[in-house]
């Protein structure tokens, strides 16, 4: 597998860490960690820190932590456009429309989330053409991540580690393209 294909596969796996956690065992998360470890030591280190904290919690506590972080009066919304353009912006609507078009082109649009939800974008990264993905990473994801990370670090939220893992992986990808 080419390095860039591996990085994109790993992005998809990281997206699963940003979805509502199920109440079952964390086997899927552990498998994703092992995969990320093979492609990015920096990203894996952040995930190990996050997983250590999650493993110390009961399933209902992980779910509550997720909801408090991202859903109910969120500390950090996972919508890229909010961090790039604010809540009410024509550019926000434009980005979401463009993403929705790509999802629909590949029959991947899920009505459960807005098109710019970071987990959705990461998990569906393979549907974007290489140029589309590179543009989305450099113009949307990488600029939004520092804002998201800062917001979570201010309140000591462990999800900052997942976002740092995404950032580390995508920055490695960017360096490979230079």
Enter the tokens of residue 83: 């961090």
Where does the pLDDT of residue 28 fall: very low under 50, low under 70, confident under 90, or very high at 90 and above? low
pLDDT of residue 176: 59
Phi-psi region of 77 (alpha: psi -120 to 50; beta: other; left: phi over 0): beta
Residue 167 and residue 75: Cα distance in Å, rounded?
Answer: 19
Contacts of 71 (CB under 8 A, 6+ apart): none
pLDDT at 61: 93
Where do the structural domains in the chain lie, given as residue ranges?
3-177
Residues 88-112: pLDDT tens digits? 889 999 999 999 999 999 987 777 8
Q: Measuring CA to CA, which residue among 86, 64, 65 is closest to residue 152?
A: 65
Q: Is 36's pLDDT higher than 80? A: no
* pLDDT for 66 beyond 70: yes
- CA nearest to 95, candidates 61, 140, 130: 140
Q: Is the pLDDT of residue 118 over 70?
A: yes
Tell whether the torsion through CA atoms of 34, 39, 45 and 47 is positive or negative. Answer: negative
Fold of 3-177: TorD-like (1.10.3480)
Q: What is the mean pLDDT of the chain?
A: 87
| pLDDT exceeds cutoff 90 at 39 | no
């Amino acid at each position: 597998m080419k390095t860039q294909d591996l990085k994109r596969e790993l992005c998809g796996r990281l997206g699963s860490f940003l979805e509502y956690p199920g109440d079952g065992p964390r086997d899927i998360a552990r498998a994703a960690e092992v995969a990320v470890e093979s492609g990015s030591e920096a990203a894996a280190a952040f995930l190990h820190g996050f997983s250590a904290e999650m493993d110390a919690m009961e399933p209902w506590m992980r779910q509550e932590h997720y909801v408090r972080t991202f859903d109910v009066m969120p500390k950090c919304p996972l919508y890229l456009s909010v961090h790039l353009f604010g809540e009410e912006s024509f550019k926000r609507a434009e980005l979401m429309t463009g993403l929705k078009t790509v999802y629909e082109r590949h029959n991947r649009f899920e009505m459960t989330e807005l098109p710019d939800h970071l987990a959705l974008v990461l998990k569906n990264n393979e549907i974007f053409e290489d140029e589309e993905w590179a543009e989305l990473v450099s113009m949307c994801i990488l600029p939004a991540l520092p804002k998201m990370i800062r917001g979570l670090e201010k309140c000591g939220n462990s999800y900052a580690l997942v976002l740092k893992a995404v950032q580390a992986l995508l920055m490695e990808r960017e360096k490979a393209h230079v």
